[in-house]
Structure 1
């Protein structure tokens, strides 16, 4: 594989209440927007890793949030319909790319909302470009742990990230045959999700070269003895209003990272949502929309 991800010509899932647009910023991005949008401070929705794209993680959220504000939900570089944009690697690099996208869209300031990998990205966005972030909502956020499991597991994981692309990508393509089972393990009840979302994730995971952008992110994030992307201890300087959302039953990202981060920041709180897994916006869309809406309204972000 080269640094540019695979091309994609197939039509991707566009959730109800959304419309598909494109923008040019170092390549052609797919950006989902609300069909009918309110006048509040715009929301930037940043999806997670693996075979995710904006139409999967934000299947419910785009239409729900657009009632109050413009919504921009891009497929990240190398993902979904943004495969014309070279994969970026680290969360910091992805955040910088998003600033270029916001410039192309002529959007000055956003409520930055990210799930999983996207949570890592939006926290980096706020740290690196604080003038572009009016409020921050990390959901089951990555970037808040010092090590992946115990010392031995972390070392093995790091060694895996050192393997060449020519070894990793065929192995990833082979493992994609179990993608539906892996997706089901990340949520509490896969049968409660829209079947078209599950089917889309499986299709994306089985496309040639799928997961390359996520592989680049992991390669940049995992160090030999600890996580390079751990933001613990750096977030105390962020004064931006912040709402952390996380399930205490999250099977992929431990809630303790969000607890520490919320305690570290001067204007942050954590809402724990029990009974769901890792994909809170998909599993509990009404709770997600309510919490974000109330947070934005309390901060005066319901109007521009």
Structure 2
């Protein structure tokens, strides 16, 4: 584990292995590199140099008083790659991190070699629960109460993960312990509450890369859980059809968290796709 300064802020990251660079970007809410990627970093490091940063405002990275928009995260992760001289990385992004990965490929000078948006946010504007989602985004006290309950109870933490996984009993004990550990950090959910405030409007999500997917000139593999209720699998199907050099793998026994629900399958997919020789 190490830190690197990006735009004056410390970004904590884990790096492991030797080989072509592979950057793993986590999701939102209570997340960090070890939370979503904890079971895949070591096996992937046998083939790649793996970088798993805690994005700005998450985990053990700095939590400055800034607007945590997708654009902010994209710029910070581009700076992360530049600061560590990461050249031609493959990038796998989960949920919020999937949108950041798309932004890196579309809007920065990072020369992304392969792209793996997983349970990807930013593929449409419709809120999952309509105006209720918007209303809840304007009531941050409810999120604070939920985080307080996470901190008090490992059992509540595990039960709450039912909102993003198909079967909580499929999760490893290490996974639940890691989520509970990060839920007890003082900065838990601070960045996500801010992100949600900026991202959700009455008309839907602000970020929508769908109209721009035709611009992608990077080999892309969308990975999505069949039972994802956060980002419907239909959005991934439409995205794979729009991008000129894309394919889609649907994981039948997964919801929104493939790296934790099916870690061995994720390692297999990433190894096969990101190690492939360009033709």
In the alignment of these two chains, the number of paired residues is: 274
Aligned to 2:166: 188
Aligned to 1:259: 237
The verdict on how the C-alpha distance between 1:191 and 1:172 changes in structure 2, with shifts beyond 3 A counting, is closer
| Separation of aligned partners in 1, 2:190 and 2:66 | 8
The verdict on how the C-alpha distance between 1:231 and 1:174 changes in structure 2, with shifts beyond 3 A counting, is same
Runs of 5+ consecutive residues of structure 1 not aligned to the other structure: 1-19
Normalised by the length of structure 1, the TM-score is: 0.83
| Separation of aligned partners in 1, 2:169 and 2:132 | 34
The verdict on how the C-alpha distance between 1:275 and 1:156 changes in structure 2, with shifts beyond 3 A counting, is closer
Does 56-65 or 258-267 show the bigger shift? 56-65
The verdict on how the C-alpha distance between 1:277 and 1:155 changes in structure 2, with shifts beyond 3 A counting, is closer
Task: Give the SS at the match of 1:147.
Answer: coil
1:29 aligns with 2:8: no
| Separation of aligned partners in 2, 1:298 and 1:226 | 37
Equivalent positions of 1:1-304 (< 5 A) are: 20-25=1-6, 26-34=8-16, 37-40=17-20, 42-85=21-64, 88-129=67-108, 131-149=110-128, 153-163=129-139, 167=141, 170-176=144-150, 178-300=156-278
How big is the shift at 1:169? 6.0
| Separation of aligned partners in 2, 1:67 and 1:259 | 31
How big is the shift at 1:159? 3.6
| Separation of aligned partners in 1, 2:263 and 2:204 | 34
How big is the shift at 1:30? 1.1
Task: Give the SS at the match of 1:281.
Answer: helix
**Residues 7-37 of structure 1: CA distance to partner in whole angstroms, max 9, x if unpaired?**
xxxxxxxxxxxxx111111211111111xx2
Task: Give the SS at the match of 1:295.
Answer: helix
Equivalent pair of 1:173/1:209 in contact (CA under 8 Å): no
| Separation of aligned partners in 1, 2:86 and 2:65 | 22
| Separation of aligned partners in 2, 1:218 and 1:128 | 22
Q: Please report the RMSD computed on the Cα atoms of aligned residues, expressed in angstroms.
A: 2.1
Equivalent pair of 2:14/2:52 in contact (CA under 8 Å): yes
Normalised by the length of structure 2, the TM-score is: 0.90
**Residues 172-208 of structure 1: CA distance to partner in whole angstroms, max 9, x if unpaired?**
5445354331113422332332212212212322433
